[in-house]
Amino acid sequence: MLGYSKILCALDLDKAASQLLTVAAALAKESDATLYVLHVARIPTRDMDVPLPFKAEPLWEKEARLFLEDLISGNTARQGRYEICVVSGLADLDIVRTATRLAIDLIVMGTHGRGGLKHLILGSVAEHVIREAPCPVLILRPEAGSLTRQ
């Protein structure tokens, strides 16, 4: 048993999401932990003038929640305890905030593996989370169609 009781799986809504969720679900099962599946939705540019906080669940959050529900229904994560979390904001900040608020024991997330100039311009969500997270962070990188440990 790994000893985790709360695992946060932070997902982009991309091709690697299913593989990343499978790894996080396996860790949660091994630890008998609750799996929190998080997506930080970016506010679409056309809606940037909407005052914050939003009074109701915005469309982009509803769409992300539906995507995650479909992803989980076709994944081993559905066999364990899980909770879907969707927030609007900035991924690097809101992953850490959510982990802190929920007293998470382990964060599992992917990285795009950008290097060089792209990394300098765009920064790294994973790098920020590793520096600021209140718990260990497992970073997985998609490589040749599968996730491998980095």
Digit-coded pLDDT (tens) for 19-73: 999 999 999 999 999 999 999 988 766 555 555 555 567 788 889 999 999 999 9
% residues pLDDT > 70 (the chain): 77
Sign of the alpha-carbon dihedral angle for 85, 89, 90, 92 = negative
Q: Are strands 6-10 and 106-110 parallel, antiparallel or unpaired?
A: parallel
Determine the Cα–Cα distance for residues 12 and 91; give it in Å rounded to an integer.
Answer: 9
Q: What class has domain 6-149? A: alpha beta
pLDDT, averaged across the chain: 83
CA distance 147 to 3: 23
The answer to whether residue 118 scores a pLDDT higher than 60 is no
The pTM (predicted TM-score) of the whole model is 0.82
**Residues 26/32, Cβ–Cβ less than 8 Å:** no
What are the residue ranges spanned by the domains of the chain? 6-149
* Phi and psi based region of residue 138 (left: phi greater than 0; alpha: psi -120 to 50; beta: remaining): beta
pLDDT at position 122, please?
44
pLDDT at 141 over 70: yes
